[in-house]
Each structure stands twice: as C-alpha cells, then as structure tokens.
Amino acid sequence: MTKNSKDPIDRYAKSSLQDLIGVGIRDIVATLRRETFEPDYDNPGQEIRRIYLGDYLLTPSGKVYMPWATSNLEACPRCKGKDKTPTCRRCNGYGSAEAWDDECWNDRLEQIPLPPNVFLAWEDGDLFAIEVRDAEEAVTTAE
C-alpha cells in the first residue's frame, strides 16, 4: 500500500473496495442478497435490488461539485491552480489537488472487479451497489 504517496494515481492504484469506501465486496454481495428484487421501471423486463453505500463524503475531497464549477475546491498547493496542463503532477492540470484526488479515486473505484450483474452507481451524490437480472429469470427461478 502506498497511501502516503503524493501522486494520487499511485496512492489509489492498489486500493481495494474496503480501502476506498470502507466496505468489502463480500459484505456488499451478502447484503444485496438479503434485498428483494423489484421491477426496474426505467428498464422494462429487468429487475433490480440495491443497497446504499454512502454519499459524497466517501470521496477524498468529501465535496460535491461540477467539473466546470470547482470554486468550492482548494487550489492546488503546488501550482496554485495556475497550471492547466498535466505537467503539474499534484493536480494534473485540474487546478485543484482535491479534484485530481477524486478523479483518481473514482477511476480506481470503477476498475474494481465486481460479480456479474452487480455494479456501483452514483445517484444524486449517493453511492449504491445495484444488482440487475432479467424479469424472466426471476419467473424461472421462482418455479
């Protein structure tokens, strides 16, 4: 583990789900399995079940912001937010080390392998683990 590395890419490169959000994949799957599948009204023919994992406070910055409106983020301590090219390794040209930390953290989160039909999704600043299945599959399983 290189948690103290100054480069966030290195810092999160080997992070597990447990490291990133404080919950491991086994616990997530076990908790999901206790939930009931419900119709997915956005995707007819599919059913989903979900569990809440946490909100934006899970991210390194713990802040909510849009990529184009980062005024609530601290300026990069190295370039003071002035270097808009990736030559500044601390912020990768984001102008804010917090934004770059969040980006690297999110990239790592997306890379972590999950069981088939299980994925993580952000909805309105909340992170969920979601499992999907075909509704036909449910009928077959119930019989």
State how far the Cα of 37 lies from the Cα of 56, in Å rounded to an integer.
Answer: 26
Q: Using CB under 5 A, list all residues that contact Zn ion.
A: 76, 78-79, 83, 88, 90-91
Question: Closer to Zn ion at the Cβ: 47 or 83?
Answer: 83
State how far the Cα of 49 lies from the Cα of 94, in Å rounded to an integer.
Answer: 36
Question: Closer to Zn ion at the Cβ: 89 or 133?
Answer: 89
CB of 68 to Zn ion, least distance (A): 18
**Across the strands, what pairs with 107?**
none
Question: Closer to Zn ion at the Cβ: 20 or 76?
Answer: 76
Looking up tokens 């184009």 gives: 68
Q: Which of 129, 112, 100, 133 is nearest to 6 (CA)?
A: 100
CB of 143 to Zn ion, least distance (A): 59
CB of 107 to Zn ion, least distance (A): 18
State how far the Cα of 58 lies from the Cα of 115, in Å rounded to an integer.
Answer: 22
CB of 70 to Zn ion, least distance (A): 12
Question: Closer to Zn ion at the Cβ: 46 or 61?
Answer: 61
